[in-house]
Copies of this chain bind each other. A is one copy, B any other.
Amino acid sequence: MSAAHLVLALSCPDRPGIVHAVSGVLAEHGGNITESQQFGDPSTGLFFMRVQVETQAPRAEVEEAMAALAHTFDMTFRLDDVGRPQRTIIMASKEGHCLSDLLFRQRSQRLPIDPVAVVANHPDLEPIAAFYGVPFHHVPVTRETKDAAEAELLRMVRDLDVELVVLARYMQILSDRLCTELAGNVINIHHSFLPSFKGARPYAQAHNRGVKLIGATAHYVTADLDEGPIIEQDVERVTHTDDVAEMVARGQDVERRVLARAVRWHAEHRVLVDGRRTVVFS
């Protein structure tokens, strides 16, 4: 019987003995730790840990032992196979740079997601989805159809066992109800260095303010618009010669880079929510 390679990600109130207890469970199951990171946040009192372990023991046994431990330590945890692609819906509108980039990376074995559907409120990006062999769903959204559109999305999430929804420059605001329902499983890319330039047309805002760097922010979606926990950010230098159109164009490079990193880290169980912040074991 060949060894499995498991990843364990957990968080719980901080107190002495957690690492020893967890490594004990893994040792009891013949586990060899290949990667491990911990973090205790004094400001929230929470402890976070991510371990990759090779073991001959059945995953169910490890899961059971961890469940007992979780009870003791008031712990939430996930146990998964290292590298298992997460079932993902990608949502987009008309701009294809993020969608195209995610699908290219997935195809190149660089992104452990299984893109089960592309959902868009415009038909423009269908050819990209088709090229990569991903079903494309055109779900237009108007004030009248928004509720129905979200219901359809939720249905797809359930029917397709979707674990992650990525808003790849999807230009619609999700309802509070949807945000709550999918909390922690929706990643958005905002085209500014948050908290600067929330809301609409961030590059126009950035140009107007005369900033010397533009940025992008990948974050979990919450009911509080552009206020969810930040997963990753990056910036790129601009100068006085760059007008809004040039900023938009150059910003796309940052957006797709930042979103791809965030999705990858999430899919590898490297991101743990710590109140308003995230712990990223990258």
A230 with B243, Cβ < 8 A, contacts A20-B26, A23-B19, A31-B16 known:
no
8 Å CB interface, A191-226 against B: 193-197, 207-213, 215
Contact pattern, A 154-197, Cβ under 8 Å of B = 1, otherwise 0? 00000000000000000000000000000000000000011111
A16 to B27, CA, bound (A): 8
- Chain B residues with Cβ below 8 Å from A194 are 196, 209, 211
8 Å CB interface, A1-55 against B: 15-20, 23-24, 26-27, 30-43
- Chain B residues with Cβ below 8 Å from A16 are 27, 30-33
CB distance from A108 to the nearest CB of B (A): 7
Chain A residues in the interface with B (C-beta under 8 A): 15-20, 23-24, 26-27, 30-43, 96-97, 100, 104, 108, 110, 127, 131, 193-197, 207-213, 215, 229-235, 239-241, 243, 249, 252-253, 257, 274, 276-280
- Chain B residues with Cβ below 8 Å from A212 are 230-233, 280
A230 to B33, CA, bound (A): 27
B20 touches A274 (CB 8 A): no
CB distance from A80 to the nearest CB of B (A): 19
A277 touches B240 (CB 8 A): yes
A213 touches B229 (CB 8 A): no
CB distance from A36 to the nearest CB of B (A): 5
B280 touches A249 (CB 8 A): no
B36 touches A276 (CB 8 A): no
**How many copies of this chain?**
4
Pairs across A and B, CB under 8 Å, 8 listed = A16-B30, A20-B24, A35-B40, A37-B38, A43-B207, A96-B108, A213-B215, A240-B280
CB distance from A55 to the nearest CB of B (A): 10
CB distance from A247 to the nearest CB of B (A): 12
- Chain B residues with Cβ below 8 Å from A235 are 213, 235
A280 with B239, Cβ < 8 A, contacts A193-B213, A253-B257 known:
yes
A194 to B196, CA, bound (A): 8
A43 with B209, Cβ < 8 A, contacts A20-B27, A32-B16, A38-B35 known:
no
CB distance from A127 to the nearest CB of B (A): 8
A276 touches B19 (CB 8 A): no
B276 touches A209 (CB 8 A): yes
- Chain B residues with Cβ below 8 Å from A196 are 193-196
Q: A20-B27, A211-B230 are in contact. List 13 more A-B contacts (CB 8 A).
A: A16-B33, A17-B32, A20-B26, A35-B38, A97-B108, A110-B249, A127-B131, A131-B131, A195-B211, A210-B230, A213-B215, A240-B278, A240-B280
